[in-house]
Structure 1
Amino acid sequence: MTERKTPLLDELEKGPWPSFVTQIKEAAEKNDSAKDLLLQLEQSFREKKGHWKHGGIVGVRGYGAGVIGRYSDKPEEYPNIAEFHTLRINQPSGWFYSTKALRTVCDLWEKHGSGLTNFHGSTGDVILLGTTTNELQPTFDDFIDAGFDLGGSGSALRTPSCCCGPARCEWACFDTLDLCN
């Protein structure tokens, strides 16, 4: 996985529950940004201090939301996460995904980013963790071409979301899935 040890993070892999550390270590086998992410997180645990700078204006053409700018405050030490922006992709109505859609999300994210995902964020979006500024527009373009849209919130944008409606609820008063689409 990495040349340097992560004893504090290794503690989070103990016990009966799944660990985000294990998942990042698996991603680190294929992606250098995941390696640096582990090492910076270990340093944060050791020092009891976060090493992320938030801010800066990053985004894609035509959108005021969907991208969260993140920068390491240790870019010389962890160059692969000097920029580690997060994208939010709008979830489908009722959160019904086909396996083809899930494969597409994962394939595009491995192409453009760290391969690390979070299903789902507080707004319901698919959270894609870790890409560079130069990859933002190409990533967005590929997701749009695949039928996805950016999610999240901004000054004039909120992620549309709905319950599963008539797909599972016998008391549904109207087709929430159709309304959201």
Structure 2
Amino acid sequence: MQGEVDIVRISEEQVKILRNVLGERIYFLYSDKLQVELLDEGYVFWANGFAIALSTINQPPGKFRTYINISADYRTCPKDASTYYEFDVNVSGAPLWQEGALQFGKLSSLKVFSDPILMIEIYQNTNKSGEKGRLHDCAMVFYSQTKKYLLQARQELVGGINIILDDTFIESQISQLKRRYTLV
């Protein structure tokens, strides 16, 4: 089972980036083209990638310190023909790594106005032994004192991320996944 953990391991560099979110407030989730989908359990917001606009607790509103850009892509498993999903996480001084979206004003935003983030959980799923196709899924849950945010790989779209804001819907999604990391 050691190989399973190696495959889904999030890099130390990405863990360091995510640690920057702890203790900070999320004001907006930016995307280049935010779309909304109604599922049985509730609403999902989704796009190719999201930027989380952060501010330190002591900064005045509207003064963003940094952006954490998050997308998800599939990778081919080196041991067989299966694929798995993993996050791409990076830091930027501007929302999204796609310069065109910035230059042409094609950004959408979702206002969230969070309390400071207290904890981040990273989930990744594994199929049963012998199953082919999608081997792993990935999701991140950001916890503040009053709210949760779920970012989850969108399997139908390379690079796509779902964002779920409803607590009950979040719980239904993560109950099917295996928690890999907790950052506090």
TM class, shorter-chain normalised? under 0.3
Higher relative contact order (CA 8 A, sep 6+): 2
Structure richer in strand, relative to its length:
2
